[in-house]
Amino acid sequence: MWREDREDEPPALVDDTVLLETGFDSMAFAVLVARLDDELGFDPFTMVEEPVYPQTFAEFVAFYAQCAPKPE
């Protein structure tokens, strides 16, 4: 996704990378979540009653893992 709009190298994503410091704006995150929904088949942000705002890359990944459908 980064390379679709930019020519520079994407930032390294490590657990403590602050999402607001990745260079993605709110529209880019919306597109990312939509693509993950298409790829994974679920959108965790629509599955929870209380809003969730992950602040780091690790929190973002953990939120997806927490909401992932359990295998039958």
| 28-61 burial code (b ≥16 CB/10 A, e <16) | eeeeebeebeeeeeeebbeeeeeeeebebbebbe
pLDDT exceeds 80 at position 72:
no
7-61 pLDDT tens trace: 888 888 999 999 999 988 889 999 999 999 999 999 999 999 999 999 999 999 9
Domains identified in the chain and CATH numbers: 2-67 (1.10.1200)
Q: What is the pTM of this model?
A: 0.85
